[in-house]
Amino acid sequence: MRLPIVSMEDSELFPKSNRLLLPSSLAAFPLEAFEKLNALLDKLWWSRLVISVRGYVINYIQDEEEKLFLCDDAFIQIHVIFAERNHQFSPSQFIRDLACVSSFPQINEDLLELERNPGFEPNPFTQPETTESFLRIFGRPNAATYHIANCQKHAYLVFTNILRLLIERWSADCASKKKGIRFDTDPEWQPDDRVVLFQQFYQGNRTWVLTDFDRHIIDFWKPNGAKVVFGDRYIEKKKRAGFLLCDHCGMLEQCLDQFPQFKQHRFCSEQCLASMLDANQISV
């Protein structure tokens, strides 16, 4: 059976709106179908799904620095759990927790009220049937946690909803009727213009402006991070035009001859040069 195909032009997955739409509560999550699909998915599929969802969400909040920072923390955790499989929580455990959080009645509104008034009831952090999931995802109940949760809900609710829709389509074998990107194999993969990732890349700036999420993705996939982010065909096209990659992390130049060279090794930052020296990739 084909894996779910994703398109940023799919208005059900990625609604085009002047504000980010958050559900008050999501329908029951198809946990059994998730387990079947999860057994088929590889880290590249998961990574590109997280990149797409993260970019879609951040597009709406990129001018809100704290919210962007906290949502990036959430998306990094999602990436670590589902793509990297290097976390104390398994994907199965985490998706059950996300399902619990997203299905709590009026979750969007209640998290907002909890931030405004920590004594608000009903409090999902203290309800017997939901407390463990909320504690695992957000932390112990206090005013600081409620603030973080109200910011990070943008990441968790949108990701859970998109994943739920993809699983339901896959279960109904509807994926073959949709046109879009095959995350696992498609060399044409390239983020939609509305995806905010390496947001300064297309603006001709001579310096990189990366968020924590960007750095995490590049570091995890090094030295092939740029190919994962921008797609094989795009990178090959840029290389034919004379653009080079950092020999350590795989970052792509924004302009010709941007990256300095040391002993025939290109590097995008002093950190990458130091890493190559420490790893004896460059002999001094």
Tell me if 106 sits within 8 A of 22, measured CB to CB: no
Q: Tell me the two tokens of residue 114.
A: 């909890």
Tell me if 52 sits within 8 A of 8, measured CB to CB: yes
Q: Name the residue with tokens 């957000």.
A: 138
Three-state DSSP class for 6? strand
Between CA 15 and CA 126 the distance in angstroms is 33
Q: Tell me which of 131 and 25 has the higher pLDDT.
A: 131
* Phi/psi-derived region of residue 132, left when phi > 0, alpha when psi is between -120 and 50, beta in every other case: alpha
Query: Residue 207: pLDDT band by 50, 70, 90 thresholds?
Result: very low
Full DSSP string of 211-262: -HHHHHHHHHHTTSHHHHHH-HHHHHHHHHTT--B-TTT-PBPSSTT-S-EE
pLDDT of res. 113: 96
Between CA 62 and CA 199 the distance in angstroms is 10
pLDDT in tens, 62-92: 889 899 999 999 999 999 999 999 888 999 9
pLDDT of res. 206: 44
pLDDT in tens, 214-252: 889 988 998 888 888 888 888 898 899 999 999 888 888
Full DSSP string of 65-86: HHHHHHHHHHHHHHHIIIII--
Q: What is the mean pLDDT of the chain?
A: 86
Query: Residue 59: pLDDT band by 50, 70, 90 thresholds?
Result: confident
Q: Tell me which of 26 and 75 has the higher pLDDT.
A: 75
Query: Residue 1: pLDDT band by 50, 70, 90 thresholds?
Result: low
Would you say residue 195 has pLDDT above 90?
no
Query: Residue 196: pLDDT band by 50, 70, 90 thresholds?
Result: very low
pLDDT of res. 253: 85
Least reliable range by pLDDT among 84-88, 146-150, 153-157, 185-189 = 185-189
Query: Residue 192: pLDDT band by 50, 70, 90 thresholds?
Result: low
pLDDT of res. 269: 83
Residue 44 dihedral angles phi and psi, to the nearest 5°: -70, -40
Least reliable range by pLDDT among 121-125, 134-138, 265-269 = 265-269
Q: What is the chain's length?
A: 284
